[in-house]
Amino acid sequence: MFNDLNILLKTIKKNKYKNFKTSYTAALFKKGQKACIKKFREESLEFINSSKRNNKQDIIHEAADVLYHFLVLLEFKKIKIFKIMKEIRRRRKVSGIQEKKNRKKNVR
């Protein structure tokens, strides 16, 4: 499973430099941050809508799209997935409720 994720991450990193006419990833990078965010938002809404219909195959399909566009956006922002995983590990030490309260305190 993690090997597949690593392959996808490497593919995104490699494909962002390809010809935008033949690579969807390159086309997203060429269009810029707003396009990457817009596409992630669209795919997230499609995932939510498929979850409401409760068709597992549709949910899986849309979840794959969300994951791909999430990783593209992270690559666009130059954020490594290990940083996300590090944050998740940090949060394991604190309940979700407490972590959310702590974030609200830090925002003010």
Please give the domain boundaries of the chain with CATH numbers for all domains.
2-77 (1.10.287.1080), 80-108 (no CATH)
Q: Which of 10-14, 70-74, 91-95 has the lowest mean pLDDT?
A: 91-95
CB 47 within 8 A of CB 65: yes
Mean pLDDT in residue range 9-17: 97
CB 72 within 8 A of CB 27: no
Rounded to two decimals, the pTM is 0.84
Mean pLDDT in residue range 31-50: 97
Separation between Cα atoms, residue 79 and residue 71, nearest integer Å: 9
The predicted-structure confidence for 47-82, as pLDDT tens digits, reads as follows 999 999 989 999 999 999 999 999 999 999 999 999
> Which ranges of 1-108 would DSSP assign to H, the alpha helix?
2-15, 24-31, 33-53, 56-76, 81-91, 96-107
Mean pLDDT in residue range 26-37: 97
